[in-house]
């Protein structure tokens, strides 16, 4: 994890104008650093680390989501590492910052999709041409 975090720090310190980003497995503190540093980010595709407890970070991530972010894709195929309550906390905070955010999932569990629709966010599972 430490080596991964160093790479994220280099990215956020030296590539601050990044608009599109495709990352492999990411940890909560890395995503938070990306959200706080890459304010011009428009499209993001990530796989959440499944060993981390994302629930305790979801509200803070929602509060710090870049205002210009148009689309975020979560590529976890088996199981999402946060529960419905964590997703609700995230979406409540995002609503105050970025109402136009679109969400994409490779694992479309019915209960999660219902929550997203409840908060009036658009679900968009298209593959983005990077």
CATH of the domain at 97: 3.80.10.10
pTM given for the model? 0.90
CA distance 72 to 21: 10
Mean pLDDT in residue range 101-105: 91
Q: What is the pLDDT of residue 121?
A: 92
The DSSP call for residue 95 is H
Q: How many other C-beta atoms are found inside a 10 Å radius of the C-beta of residue 50?
A: 12
Binned at pLDDT 50, 70 and 90, residue 1 comes out as: low
β-pairing, 122-123 vs 20-26, is unpaired
Kind and range of the H or E run holding 25: strand 20-26
Binned at pLDDT 50, 70 and 90, residue 127 comes out as: low
Mean pLDDT in residue range 62-90: 94
Binned at pLDDT 50, 70 and 90, residue 129 comes out as: low
Residue owning tokens 């706080």? 36
pLDDT in tens, 30-73: 999 999 999 999 999 999 999 999 999 999 999 999 999 999 99
Q: Is residue 88 part of a domain?
A: yes
Binned at pLDDT 50, 70 and 90, residue 9 comes out as: very high
pLDDT surpasses 90 at 123: no
Please enumerate in sequence order all residues whose Cβ is within 8 A of that of 74, keeping only pairs 6 or more positions apart, or say none: 46, 47, 48, 80, 103, 104, 105, 106, 107
Q: How far is CA 50 from the centre of its chain?
A: 14
Considering only 1-5, 15-19, 77-81, which range has the smallest mean pLDDT?
Answer: 1-5
Q: What is the pLDDT of residue 22?
A: 94
- Say if CB 67 and CB 41 are below 8 A apart: no
Q: Is residue 50 part of a domain?
A: yes
Domain that holds residue 11: 2-123
The SS3 assignment for 58 reads helix
The total number of structural domains that make up the chain: 1
Q: Is residue 130 part of a domain?
A: no
């Amino acid at each position: 994890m430490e080596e991964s975090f160093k790479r994220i720090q280099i990215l956020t310190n030296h590539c601050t104008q990044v608009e599109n980003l495709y990352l492999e497995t990411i940890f909560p503190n890395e995503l938070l650093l990306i959200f706080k540093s890459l304010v011009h980010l428009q499209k993001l595709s990530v796989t959440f680390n499944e060993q981390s407890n994302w629930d305790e970070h979801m509200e803070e991530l929602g509060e710090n989501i870049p205002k210009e972010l148009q689309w975020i894709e979560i590529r976890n195929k088996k199981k999402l590492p946060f529960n419905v309550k964590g997703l609700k906390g995230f979406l409540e905070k995002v609503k105050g910052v970025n109402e136009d955010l679109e969400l994409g999932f490779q694992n479309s569990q019915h209960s999660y999709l219902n929550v997203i629709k409840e908060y009036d966010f658009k679900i968009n599972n298209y593959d983005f041409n990077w």
